[in-house]
Amino acid sequence: MMDTWKNRKYEMIVIGSSAGGIDALKRVLARLKAPFGPAIVVIQHIAPTAHTSIADFFKEVCSLPVKEAEDKEPVAGGVIYFAPAGYHLLVEKSRTFALSVDSPVHFARPSIDVFMESAAEVYKEKCAGFVLTGANNDGADGLKSIQQVGGMIVVQNPRSAEFKSMPEAALQATETSFVFSLQEIEDLMTSLG
């Protein structure tokens, strides 16, 4: 069954993480090499007062281009985008990014759910969503939205997550048999390019 999902040509991969996410993301993203077809959007909870862009940190560890998503910017395949601190990130039907200062969702801005729900609406079955380690339930509703339009959803096994709350909430909200260790997620991600 996994082969069916792996053979699909995805246009959008969304990764949501929170507490413990930086280390998990380093492992998953550092192995990706060009050419890589889909766009990758990372929603990592980060304090709105952060003085440094998380994208700047990942530029040092990734071989794919890395940048902070900008308002009205067209989405490009093969690029790793990070949601900026203090803003919700969305993707519009025109496949451009939009930034919002709407109220936090699950105490977070950027919210994983907000972006995943917009990506599901735009990319449908060509969207894949991943929820990694985290200490709240953000991402559960977003994964459910991706699943409802036929996209692939993957949850980090709570036993391998530094913080289990987000993966556990995602598993309660969805029906997925793709519950993988971080190593398995790394391997899967490299195969999706």
**Mind telling me the catalytic residues?**
18, 45, 138
Sign of the C-alpha dihedral computed for residues 155, 29, 78 and 104 taken in this order: positive
Report residue 103 as tokens.
Answer: 């109220």
Instruction: Classify each residue of 168-183 as buried b or exposed e, where b means 16 or more C-beta atoms within 10 Å of its C-beta.
Output: bbbbebbebebbbebe
Phi, psi of 180 (to 5 degrees): -120, 155
Q: Could you tell me if 16 and 142 are in contact, meaning their C-beta atoms sit under 8 angstroms apart?
A: yes
Contact 64, 78 (CB under 8 A): yes
